[in-house]
Structure 1
Amino acid sequence: MDKQNLLDGVKTIHFIGIGGSGMCPLAEILFNEGYKITGSDMAESDTLERIRSYGIPVTMGHYPENVEGADLIVYTAAVKLDNPELVAAKHLGIPAVERCIMLGEVTRKYNRSIAVSGTHGKTTTTSMLTQLLTMADYDPTAIIGGKLPFLGSNSRIGKSDIIVCEACEYVDTFLHLNPAISIILNIDEDHLDYFGTLDRIIESFHKFAQQTTSLLIVNGDDANTLKAIKDIECRAITFGFGEKNDYRAVITNEGVMDEFDIIKGNIKLTTVKLKVPGKHNVMNALAAAVACFELGVSARDIANGLGEFTGAHRRFEILGTEGGITVADDFAHHPTELRATLTAAMEMGYKNVWAVFQPHTYSRTAMLLDDFADALSIPDHTVLSEILAVRETNTYNIYSKDLADKIKGCVWFETFEEITDFVVNSVKPGDLIITLGGGNVYMCANMIYDRLKQKYAE
């Protein structure tokens, strides 16, 4: 099907898995544009409550009759081809497209579409950019991979011609986009189960850069990123710490709040005080700031917006402090992300940092085992859960014990209950506990925090 004509003649769109974090914002945008939307899902969630608040009908469970009357079906990547609604759509001759294709279609409706790509930092940077543009009255539409506390949601419907979205490289998803502005934060070895080699990842980013129509904003300190944009005709500007970059950050104060100047050429544009820790977040903030400068946002609005940013959901998210013990949760699931987050945690002045990590996929754990061991040796104490399989079977014959054996003093447990018992009985006032991983390890953070509240209430 020609993606340019995807919505021609379409009045009713049915979403399979409408409660998904990537699906819900698309349904909202299309509903706002006047399309009739229906949806189905398998589990209740906050996003479903939001969808229903518009009067959009949602069916719990997937049934063939759910697709009747639809002109187009949108489904998530998690939906299997034998899903009864997909099978029914095929039987009835109703066209069905994956979410990433619909995202491309929706973003093409906006003259100033901004796609945030990179192996690490997409959600934080997209969140920062959305908050900056909203606070500066640029009224953007936004699709974010995590909940932004500032919005209380992972999406925003604006009335301007600006849309901000994440561009994920996994299975070349971002090649369905044709952004006006693309940000490339970094390129690292990840999703090797799909790409196989780093060169293929760089090649995929090269294609993505070629599809950008107006401006590339790229990490000038990252050799892989510079390789990816080689021979690209689109205008490119660089950001980073290095002096050769078009825009650079000069850190003037490190600590719980990082303070840095944004310099362009020899001119200081503004000073930013960040509430989210770590050099990686200085880079994320700089990338968001550059996009805003290029859109005409004032230096004052940029400094104010970044100064008010308190983080995105599951990005060094502080759950609270009980008995002098702080509990935080973070999405880091790749060695580079772990290294950045744990280095920042170690510099925050806690007596001991306890990292509770849930390895995410057998392939990633096996292929980057030594890198994981190196990153997880940073904190004072490391605790592992079993590996979360996600979409894989363990053909790699890899177990958490293999990783634990490479980290001094590391322990591992099969269940979150066992981890909670061990951690709560071991921590002391002045310590930080941070759960890390791309799966459901945040549940363990909640269990630990609840147990600490109970312990100190007694």
Structure 2
Amino acid sequence: MRPTRILDVRNLEFAFELVSGWRRFHEGHDAAHLPEEADLVVASAAIPASNPELQEAERRGLPVVKYARALGGLMEGRRGIAVAGCHGKTTTTGMTAFVLERCGLDPSVIVGGDLPVFGGNWKHGLSPFLVAEACEYDRSFLNLSPEIAIVNNIDADHLDYYRDLQDISSAFLDFARRLPPEGLLVVNNEQDRLFRSDAGVRARVETTGLRNHADWTAVERTMERGLTRFKVLRRGEEWGAFALRIPGLHNTLNALGVIAVASHLGLDRESIHRALLDFPGVDRRLQVRYRRGGISVVDDYAHHPAEVQAVLRTLRDEPGTRRIWAVFQPHQASRLRLLRREMAAALGAADRVLVPDVFFARDSQSDRESVHSLDLVKTLNNLGADAVYEPSFPLIVERILADLRPGDVVVTMGAGNITGVSHDLARRLEDLGRQSIPA
């Protein structure tokens, strides 16, 4: 096997060959995993300095480059399209890439989740376009210099890094300032004033929303036969009719940003319409694992109150839904500690809530000791919700199976390993052969 090495992060073809055929996979972390032939180590912002591979790289004197910097190197000299925002980045990145692909632009793509239509979370295209997800954590997106950017939204998140919402907004503003004068910045209408009032933002700003004062507006939204249909207005004038297979008001808003970018690039409206209609979605975003006999099992990456609210609202709007079981795994002790009340308010929209232990990520020992899943359950109970703490994944599945009825929707949510519950529950239901479950 050829050595794992990166000689020039600006060499896009080389980088994609690396991930397609050269890399070695290791489970877990150990200094022995770092090849003797390595020239450079690329690590995400989530990897702590205590990581054994990073410590081994330091011992050998190897340069260590953050993933965001490497991505910035790949974007240099290309027509970069970066998708940012605290929520919806992955779906919007995938949707943008899919539309460009279907419209014949053959972009390269790097996205934060698996996009089955591309066979993974990346694609090497032959055109100058590079569509990439731009993460705000650690101000990572300030390593990118895109020509076009979408900012879906700005919210209080990553409060283990940012001081507050104002600090987060300041980072997004710095990101917007990186766009060139001939570029395009598409933002949610709620953040219109932040970007348009800043003299440092040189790119043209266009807004999306559900009200007529946005540049791009979705109106007459209806749901029928598994499709969400809506008309798009551009500055009050009808621009076209569109439909999505992926549900949710949040995805309609995501699509508006994609339409704005596609229009800026001069793509054919009918081709945009067909591409959006065919877009299959991204793994772990309202992904149906099982649907039979009036029972559905859905899996989603939602781990912030705004995301949980959007998921539950979408499922509640599904025809035939009687009860919603929410299996929510808190992600990061610091997020749970700082947003516990908001999370409880969002989860309160479910009929039953099951909460396992916190999935720790980047949490210090003091963070881990500062909060427990039981704190969230108690807050939910105080709000009148039917919520229980259950640390065992197998017992969560058994609890659900013991009281599952036609019309029930079970949704697993979280950025950790809670997806395993949806897989196990779907497999159990398949094995039981339940065409229906008596009420």
Instruction: Name the CA distance, whole Å, in 1 between partners of 2:16 and 2:394.
Output: 46
Confirm or deny that 1:329 pairs with 2:320. no
Tell me the equivalent position of 2:152: 185
Tell me the equivalent position of 1:294: 264
Instruction: Name the CA distance, whole Å, in 1 between partners of 2:360 and 2:57.
Output: 30
**Map 1:54-453 → 2, pairs under 5 A:** 54-56=21-23, 62-63=30-31, 66-110=34-78, 112-213=79-180, 214-223=182-191, 226-228=193-195, 230-231=197-198, 232-254=201-223, 256-349=226-319, 350-392=321-363, 393=365, 395=367, 397-407=370-380, 408-453=385-430
Question: Where does the alignment leave 5 or more consecutive residues of structure 1 unmatched?
Answer: 1-11, 16-25, 38-50
SS class of match (1:368): helix
TM-score (norm 1): 0.85
Task: Quote how far apart the aligned CAs of 1:209 are.
Answer: 0.7
Larger mean CA deviation between 380-389 and 88-97 belongs to 88-97
1:209–1:216 CA contact under 8 A, matched in 2: no
Task: Quote how far apart the aligned CAs of 1:310 are.
Answer: 2.0
2:186–2:260 CA contact under 8 A, matched in 1: no
Instruction: Name the CA distance, whole Å, in 1 between partners of 2:402 and 2:429.
Output: 10
Which amino acid in structure 2 is aligned with residue 14 of structure 1?
A: R
2:108–2:125 CA contact under 8 A, matched in 1: yes
Confirm or deny that 1:455 pairs with 2:432. yes
2:286–2:299 CA contact under 8 A, matched in 1: yes
Larger mean CA deviation between 67-76 and 178-187 belongs to 67-76
TM-score (norm 2): 0.89
1:59–1:66 CA contact under 8 A, matched in 2: no
Question: Where does the alignment leave 5 or more consecutive residues of structure 2 unmatched?
Answer: none
Task: Quote how far apart the aligned CAs of 1:370 are.
Answer: 1.5
Which amino acid in structure 1 is aligned with residue 69 of structure 2?
A: I
The verdict on how the C-alpha distance between 1:34 and 1:374 changes in structure 2, with shifts beyond 3 A counting, is closer
Residue identity (%): 33
Instruction: Name the CA distance, whole Å, in 2 between partners of 1:382 and 1:57.
Output: 40
The verdict on how the C-alpha distance between 1:400 and 1:93 changes in structure 2, with shifts beyond 3 A counting, is closer
Task: Quote how far apart the aligned CAs of 1:454 are.
Answer: 2.1
SS class of match (1:313): coil
Confirm or deny that 1:14 pairs with 2:5. yes
Instruction: Name the CA distance, whole Å, in 2 between partners of 1:98 and 1:410.
Output: 40
2:108–2:124 CA contact under 8 A, matched in 1: yes
The verdict on how the C-alpha distance between 1:307 and 1:96 changes in structure 2, with shifts beyond 3 A counting, is same
Task: Quote how far apart the aligned CAs of 1:130 are.
Answer: 0.9
Which amino acid in structure 2 is aligned with residue 351 of structure 1?
A: R
The verdict on how the C-alpha distance between 1:86 and 1:331 changes in structure 2, with shifts beyond 3 A counting, is closer
Instruction: Name the CA distance, whole Å, in 2 between partners of 1:448 and 1:202.
Output: 40
Compute the RMSD of aligned alpha carbons.
2.6
SS class of match (1:222): helix
Task: Quote how far apart the aligned CAs of 1:62 are.
Answer: 4.2
Task: Quote how far apart the aligned CAs of 1:405 are.
Answer: 2.2
The verdict on how the C-alpha distance between 1:355 and 1:65 changes in structure 2, with shifts beyond 3 A counting, is closer
1:258–1:273 CA contact under 8 A, matched in 2: yes
The verdict on how the C-alpha distance between 1:384 and 1:82 changes in structure 2, with shifts beyond 3 A counting, is closer
1:220–1:226 CA contact under 8 A, matched in 2: no
Instruction: Name the CA distance, whole Å, in 1 between partners of 2:146 and 2:4.
Output: 24
Between the two proteins, the alignment pairs up a number of residues equal to 421
